[in-house]
Chain A
């Protein structure tokens, strides 16, 4: 089946630093979504990407849908302590009931 490889698995950074994480796949997706999960809660949508090459921002977050449709990245600029959590990418293919394939997650720790 389809799989997503997300990297890095974890990051330990200093407050104020920029962060970059990415997801790659061996197959094509029509939609890429980025979620954040905090302890004891469900994933919360950060950014949705629907078109190859699309670059979308949400505050300090920027995500891009790769031209090949097989990858996506998420950047966080000027990190702050509340950015701590697990970030997941998810891919979706049309006409498959809206099912999502998730990456393994990137755990972000921010040191004040």
Chain B
């Protein structure tokens, strides 16, 4: 599982409340990613990080913010949750090989329901 832990695994919240999801890794990977998965869309990138305090936006970043204060933790925050953010959220890390190639490994996901 590449040492990735997501918490919580399930959460139900109300519209307008802030929500923070956590991704923890144990293998000191520099790159970490947050995706959301919705039926018919596959996985779409929200934000990613390429080091401590270094983050960038992905394809669907509106309404989300991230923080990376230490290598092992990457936090995803929904500033004011909306029903459209009901989804399954996946964290991933990139394992970069010496030849420059990389492979992404995924956590088990967080199922978020916004009521």
Residues of A within 8 A of B (CB): 1, 4, 6, 31, 33, 35, 40-45, 48, 50, 88, 90, 92, 94, 97-100, 102-105
Contact = CB atoms under 8 A, between A and B. Distances in A.
Contacts of B35: 102
Binding site of B, secondary structure by majority: helix, strand, loop or mixed?
strand
A20 B31 CA distance: 32
A98 B31 contact: yes
A48 B33 contact: no
Contact of B43 (A50, A88, A97): A88
B109 A41 contact: yes
Given A40-B109, A42-B90, 6 more contacts: A42-B108, A48-B101, A97-B31, A98-B104, A102-B44, A105-B42
B64 interface: no
A48 B42 contact: no
Contacts of A4: 42
B90 A104 contact: no
A33 to B, nearest CB: 7
Contact of B56 (A97, A104, A105): A97
B42 A45 contact: no
Interface in B56-115: 56, 58-59, 90, 92, 94, 96, 100-109
Given A102-B43, A102-B44, A104-B41, A45 B105 contact: yes
Nearest to B108: A42
A43 B106 contact: yes
A43 B102 contact: no
Contacts of A50: 101
